[in-house]
Structure 1
Amino acid sequence: MGIEQNIEEIRKRMAAACARSDRRAEEVALVAVSKTKPAEMIEAAAAAGQTLFGESYVQEFTAKQEEVRSAVTWHFIGGLQGNKVKYLRGRVSMIHSVDRLSLAQEIDRQWGILGEPLDILLQANIGGETSKSGTSSDEELFRLAREVSTLPNLRVRGLMTLPPYEEDPEQVRPYFRRLRELAEEIETLALPGVEMRELSMGMSHDFEVAIEEGATLVRVGSAIFGEREKK
């Protein structure tokens, strides 16, 4: 199938997952993960009605963004070094992968130059995998939420996680459920500038389970564009 048909199929599966969990389809947004994919593929997805795209590599993204002519929205979803934040300034509407105070402070500084706030998500490494970014414990996540709440140019809008890969999506369900529970716990802290509106979780092979557990942003790449190039 082509990109248009793939997007249509994914949206049908998303709607079915919402129906199974008594949620409205409008509660869940599809983030088309376009890292390593050329601008022409993004244009094809945009022509099919997809407007939200996720990128993971700063240099690739900044070059590609200038090639895309369609009116689309960009989220940065990959690991981020502090010295690369300046290249994203004003180019993305959300960063999903904030996992440490120093990174949050640099994002705050760069968006302060613009004089406008940025929506961010805090990344939690629930699976405890050393190969993945994210806070390594509940206490670290809560501390980060408290610290970031003091930064004037950031708005924490929820949490993100990349759980361990499992062939059977049911094996990943507990990680998605735990992220939702952590968001509920953070919400009770009533921190200024912190609202748990978004849960970014679920990818091509497990997004339906993620939706059933409360995902509001599902990051789907290969099911739309095909297997990605190794980078």
Structure 2
Amino acid sequence: MIDHVRSYKKDQVSRAEVVTAVGRFRDDHKIRRVTAALDEIEDFTSDIWLVDHDLHVPGDLDLTQERAYLLVVLGGLVVGGVYGDSDHPESFLLVTGSMRARDVVTAGWLEVHGDLSTDRLIGDYNDCGAYIGGDVHARLFYGEHHHFTIGGALDANAVIGRPRLEVGTPPTVIEEDDLRMLDHFDRDLLRVFHDHDDDGNAITHVDGFRDFRELKRRVYAGLPFRAAETRDT
């Protein structure tokens, strides 16, 4: 369990406080879903956590591993390592301030009312979604099939694929069959084919990722997508 959180199951936070906190969610369906879960939470293996101020987690924060169904941070969130969540079992994060993490892999419900700053922002599957009220700053953004709503600007050095994205100014993207993928990912992460044209000249083709699980593994391990890259630790 991370420090400085109050637990619903340990009677450190009341039902009324949880209801008030989740009322800050932007989407009504999240409010209804989490409120309904309060009647069943004792049967869950996960808990509901509330932080009344800014939260700094020095290492990784994975809601599934922490067994957190819901984490509400009434302030800003800083994660020194990678932030992760899940769609099965479903998890929710609500940050009323801004959020910063080394990397982010989100499959669950992620809601940040301020800015989100990270090195790599990776979406995972399409059951849930992410809402960022402010700007998103990332070196690389790959939304996969996850849905993202960004209230401010998307500032990313590289946007991969065609993300399911609502944002004021749509970004310029690098398609998954674009040779520029080789500028950002090792060949063993990609499906790369070699051919020849009618004149016998060698041609290289890229057809997306070989294994998305390996992509996520590198993020969680803090490893670069290209061996030539160096990463701050």
TM range (shorter): under 0.3
Q: TM-score, normalised by structure 1?
A: 0.27
Larger gyration radius, structure 1 or structure 2: 2
TM-score (norm 2): 0.27
Which has the larger share of helix? 1
Q: Which protein is richer in strand relative to its size?
A: 2
